[in-house]
Amino acid sequence: MAEKLKDWCNKNEVALHYIQPGKPTQNSLVERFNRTFRTEFLDVYLFENISQMRHYSEIWMWMYNNERPHKSLQYLTPRDFLLKYGKLTQTKANEFPTFQQNFHNDNNKLFDLFPIYGTV
C-alpha cells in the first residue's frame, strides 16, 4: 500500500514529508484531528455510498470550523477565536474559506444531522 501511495504522489507531483524517527509530536495536530473525525463522524454514522459520506463530511467540516467550540481555543469556535484576537476582522470574515456559507448543503438542517452539536 505504501508503494501505491508513493507512486500516486510522484505521478501527481505531491511531496511526501516524513516525521523524524522518535519524534511522534511532529504529527500530533494531524493525529488529534484524525481522532476527532473518527470518533465524532466515522464511528457514529453508517453511509450507503461514498457520495453520501462526502456530503455529510462536508457538513461536519463546516460545523467543526463554524459552530463547534474547541477546548484548545478556550472553548471558542475557530471563527470567534480569530475575531477575538484580531487575526480576522468581521468585514473580512467571509473571505476566510472555512467560514463561508456552505452552498452545497442546507446549514439549517445541520443540528438534525448532528444532534451532538445542539447540546453544546
- Provide the whole-model pTM: 0.57
The tens-digit pLDDT sequence of the chain (120 residues) is: 689 989 999 999 999 888 888 887 888 888 888 898 999 899 988 889 998 888 888 888 888 877 888 888 899 988 788 888 877 776 766 666 555 555 555 555 554 555 544 443
CA 5 to the chain's CA centroid: 22
Distance CA 116, CA 62 (A): 14
For the residues of 39-102, what is the DSSP string, one character each? IIIITT---SSHHHHHHHHHHHHHHHHHT--BGGGTTB-HHHHHHHTTSS-GGGGGGSGGGS--
